[in-house]
Amino acid sequence: MKMAIIGSTGAVGQELKRLVQENNTDPSALICFDSKSSISFDGIDLAFFCVSKEVAKELIPKAREKGVLCIDSSTAYRADPDVPLVIPEINGHILNQHQGIIASPNCTTTLMLLPLAPLHRRFRIKRIVAATYQAVSGAGRGAMEELEEQTKAVLANEVPIPNLFPYPCAFNVFPHESAMDDSGYVAEEIKMHQETRKILDDENVSVTATCVRVPVFRVHSIALNVEFQNPIQKEEVLEILKKAPGVVLQNTPIPLDAAQQKPVFCGRIRLDHTQSNTLEMWVVGDQLLKGAALNMIQIAGRLYTEQK
């Protein structure tokens, strides 16, 4: 099988390249493209798109004309009702419904839902309140370089100059930089609501989020308050999470420990003492891995395993 990575030099593309090479001993089976002008889909069976939605919208139709199966990490097709939006551990069973394009969800949505989906199956989620603490690498490799440069500048008593972000990211936190709509929510927060409903296949689940950038290179963290329709017991919640695929239960997960790790780590599990049927938890995960590159690899792996 001939594979291609479109956008191989970005933060997600680099992780994806490493994961493909780890799992494939034939180096000739992978072609990497970092420029639109150099791309050819001739002879390609599967293409991973690690590009903006604008570039994905331009290139994926061309790839489909060549019969290429496309796995896209952008927002280009996530809301399309004809395109599966997939986290394999949660809704991998819908992969066979694809028509040549499969969307991988927003990184924060993926990390949040990995522990919540099995709880939803048992107790039925009514409402999720999320506060995110998002690493700068969610904005790409250049954002990591910007954090490093600004950190050095501050330590040298210089004024940090923002470039990719609206504010300095070193020694600072600020609301997520994605576009804000008339309601006051930013795009990142809206994605979490819309994508959660599609992935869980449940329009009765509501998500309200406040997304924030923090001066961390990689790994997103999420504080969750989750209200369920049915009564919950902490002991049963813990048993479900212990068995949840891709989830590691810890007392106090932190980004430093989760960096470059494939699982999503979940802890601080407690019942909300102010409201019945409500759970509090803390989730951390490497958004470049399970939040993006690893999820794409797992989509491809499950597809081709089922086709054998």
Residues 19 and 60 sit within 8 Å (Cβ to Cβ): no
Whether the pLDDT of residue 52 is over 90: the answer is yes
What is the arithmetic mean of pLDDT over 181-192?
95
Candidates 50, 107, 211, 266; catalytic one: 107
| Residue 169 annotated in active site | no
| Angstrom distances, CA of residue 132 to CA of 36, 53, 241, 284 | 33, 23, 20, 10
For residue 23, name the pLDDT band (cuts at 50, 70, 90): confident
What is the arithmetic mean of pLDDT over 89-97?
95
Look-up of token digits 């191989």: 8
Whether the pLDDT of residue 154 is over 70: the answer is yes
| Residue 32 annotated in active site | no
For residue 39, name the pLDDT band (cuts at 50, 70, 90): confident
For residue 26, name the pLDDT band (cuts at 50, 70, 90): low
Give pLDDT tens digits for 265-283.
999 999 999 999 999 999 9
- What's the pTM value of the predicted model, to 2 decimals? 0.94
Candidates 98, 120, 176, 220; catalytic one: 220
What is the arithmetic mean of pLDDT over 65-90?
97
- The two tokens of residue 216 are 């961390």
**H/E stretch holding 122:** helix 107-123
Domains observed in the chain? 3-105+293-307 (3.40.50.720), 108-286 (3.30.360.10)
| Angstrom distances, CA of residue 121 to CA of 97, 201, 303 | 22, 11, 24
Share of the chain above pLDDT 70, in %: 97
